Copies of this chain bind each other. A is one copy, B any other.
Amino acid sequence: MTSTSSLHTFLHPKAIAFVGATERSVWSNAALASLRTLGYAGKLFPVNRRGGSFHGIAAATSAEAIGEPVDTALLMVPADALDDALADLQRAGIGNAVLLSSGFAEAGDEGRERQRQLTAKARSRGLRILGPNCLGFVNFVDRSAVWTASLREPLPAGTLGIVSQSGALAGQLSFMAQVHGIGLSRMVSTGNESDIDIAEVIDYLVDDEHTRSIAVFAETVRDPQRFAAAAERALAVAKPIVVLKMGSSEITAQAAQAHTGSLVGDDRVFDAMCQRLGLMRVRSIEDLVFTAAFASMTGPFQAGGLAAVSMSGGMCEIFAERAEEEGLVLTPLAPATETALREVLPGYGTPQNPLDVTGAAMLQPELFGNALEALVRDPALGAAIVVADVPNAPANDTPLNRAVLAQVSRGLAASPVPAIVCSHYVMQVSERSRELIAETGIRHIACGIHHAMSAAGAVRRWSETLRRRQAQGVAAAVQATPPAQPLRSERETLDWLSQRGVPVVPVRLSRSADEAARFAEELGGPVVLKIASAQIAHKTEVGGVALNLQGADAVRAAWQTMDARVRAARPGAEIDGILVAPMRQGGLELFVGTVRDPQWGPALAVGLGGIWVEALRDTSLRLLPVTPAEVKDMLAELRGARLLDGWRGAPAADRDAIAEAVAAIGNAALALGPELVSLEVNPLRVDGATVEALDALAVWGAAD
């Protein structure tokens, strides 16, 4: 039995046992109320050591005593009775249990130990556990549940799946979805995740034909690999996942801090993972539910711009502002579209995008339909969004509003691109609204323009990730083929990079002042001397760098001075010699650094160099490997990106050449294997089409 099918039985129970059921417990009663609200048609077996009955149903004295197959059990027993209860479940042949109790991993060290023991025991008895410290699950499609909090009617099934580590929050999400007319398929609260975690539930929902989009609330990701794999599978079938994730885990932040200072702080690595796998990350409960519903209605946007339509100039302006904030392009209309619109609009109307169909549509609603019909045929569009409210109360259930809706439906009926209708502001969706939406057949979401544009922005980014995957594939995985010895010095690191296709400044190791002078002569032009020692990371501090040396005498003198000064400053250091490299001036300096995130693996940051990377934190981050195309996106994200275009007469930087070099640095870091903590190229010098690594540093696990 695969893990997925085990979850299937768990979440589709036809026979449920409430172990520890008693009418005096709010949890028992709430779980029963949930089943009644759903109209559960399966079997329910209360279990209570002392027998008796639970709301008129005779209780078995043990699970074993039920004597019939049971799919899923709700465990409501005190901590000291848990062992016995698990053994009882095993004897009864019950494989799935929801564990409500708190006081486990969330309650400090002792609780963590209690949870570790629980996990081990459950595993040894072949039990899958949801929880502890969770509220259970609801299967809205198949009308079953082990849910120990309230459910609110009406509860029509829909296509949104909810996975949440917080039970209370899952409940709020379901309430919110309901009042906005968004039906749910399944809802699972995973709690402490002693066994079943959000990744496994997501993986299950990816295959669930009743679930068309997935909303996730996560405080932490316990199994990053499984999480990423589930996201990858969702991307492959274009099933949208929207995530409201709380800030970075302590461990990631601390590790990042320790390894690369503040460069990879916060939860930017999680963002990079979302970016790579097309997860839509949001910041509010509203956006979590609305974006998931929106994405399931539109599916991926086609390539092209967005069209926005309203009956008010003010709303069109709000559209335009929000589009800019969300990086959405409101495509200019093709001449043919303009001509077609001019025939439809009143004289004072303007055929443009966003399109104001004008107040004239209040007198002639068919104007709205005609305008939409003309607009959605524009060849440059990838999606369309229209503002129109669906009546939800007698006060707005007017003939005019109904007529407008019918026209919007007609105008969008033959749309060749995904088209969705949103309300002006966040509204509730009544039974009457649901009927009207069903009658007109439109895709309608009552989330208001603001949240609709947040959703549209997220869907656009997800759609681009999908398209890029299809067109370019993923950067090929790089086999780790680390060198025999960890790279210990600047020169070894630069050599390694050079062998891996990274352009590197020519640098030679001199053992004497004379040798250095000869190298300098061969290089021609002014040179730089740098002390070569694996034990000296900060060369400048010990006088280990000399710049702009011209002529053999200057090189010789500097060599002697440096050698003496460094040996005096660091008497114990093993010194390999002194590096001689050509002096480079002008151009731009980039910073390229990799870091191994303990959760998500190797990532790469690019930024403009100097102290500004650290002071302004103007870096872009991706998980490795990266393709050159991805690196070009990263460069475009930098706030200082325009410096690359030739600032104040400097030649424009060759972004293709940078992208090739950075991708090669990323691959070189991967090839160094899991012992590598970080690989920094700082600076990567760029001067027009010339790109060169001037310095490099590899940090290894052992060096920590």
Contact = CB atoms under 8 A, between A and B. Distances in A.
Interface stretch (A72-80, A422-430, A565-573): A422-430
Given A166-B312, A616-B639, A321 B26 contact: no
Contact of A247 (B175, B217, B321, B359): B321
Nearest to A618: B616
Contacts of A246: 317-318, 320-321
A26 B428 contact: no
Contacts of A648: 611
Given A150-B398, A615-B640, A647-B615, A450 B283 contact: yes
A39 interface: no
A247 B324 CA distance: 11
B425 A428 contact: no
Interface string A319-349: 0111001000000000000000000000010
Nearest to A102: B348
A320 B219 CA distance: 12
A179 interface: yes
A647 B262 CA distance: 14
Contact of A107 (B348, B425, B616): B348
A68 interface: no
B286 A425 contact: yes
A164 B311 CA distance: 16
A615 to B, nearest CB: 5
Interface in A415-439: 424-428
A362 interface: yes
Contact of A321 (B283, B311, B314): B283
Contact of A166 (B314, B321, B618): B314
B285 A325 contact: no
A81 interface: no
A449 interface: yes
A464 B26 CA distance: 46
A34 to B, nearest CB: 14
B647 A311 contact: no
Contacts of A615: 639-640, 642-643, 647
A540 to B, nearest CB: 10
A193 to B, nearest CB: 14
A43 interface: no
A70 to B, nearest CB: 27
Interface string A645-670: 00110000000000000000000000
Nearest to A649: B541
A172 interface: yes
Size bracket of the A interface: 35 or more
Instruction: Name the residue among A152, A314, A393, A616 with the largest chain B CB count within 10 angstroms.
Output: A314
A179 B314 contact: no
Nearest to A287: B450
Given A103-B348, A618-B616, A450 B168 contact: no
Nearest to A427: B179
Given A286-B448, A313-B166, A321-B283, A175 B396 contact: yes
Contact of A26 (B168, B217, B285, B362): B362
Contacts of A284: 318, 322, 448-450
Contacts of A618: 616
A315 interface: yes
A464 to B, nearest CB: 24
A396 B424 CA distance: 26
Interface string A190-223: 0000000000000000000000000001010000
Contact of A426 (B168, B286, B362, B395): B286
Contacts of A315: 168-169, 172
Given A219-B314, A348-B102, A449-B285, A172 B425 contact: yes
A673 to B, nearest CB: 32
A26 B450 contact: no
Contact of A217 (B219, B314, B325, B643): B314
Interface string A146-166: 000010110000000000111
A363 interface: yes
A165 B315 CA distance: 12
By Cβ-Cβ distance, the 4 closest A-B pairs, closest first, are A166-B314, A168-B312, A169-B314, A284-B450
Interface of A: 26, 102-103, 106-107, 150, 152-153, 164-166, 168-169, 172, 175-176, 179, 217, 219, 244, 246-247, 283-287, 289, 311-315, 317-318, 320-322, 325, 348, 359, 362-363, 393, 395-396, 398, 424-428, 448-450, 611-612, 615-618, 639-640, 642-643, 647-648
Given A172-B312, A615-B647, 20 more contacts: A26-B363, A103-B348, A106-B348, A150-B398, A165-B314, A166-B312, A168-B315, A169-B314, A172-B425, A175-B424, A175-B425, A246-B321, A247-B317, A247-B320, A247-B321, A284-B450, A285-B424, A286-B426, A427-B428, A612-B616
26 contacts: A26-B362, A103-B348, A106-B348, A107-B348, A152-B395, A152-B396, A165-B314, A168-B312, A172-B312, A175-B425, A179-B393, A179-B427, A179-B428, A246-B317, A284-B448, A284-B450, A286-B425, A287-B450, A289-B425, A426-B426, A427-B428, A612-B612, A615-B640, A615-B642, A616-B618, A617-B639
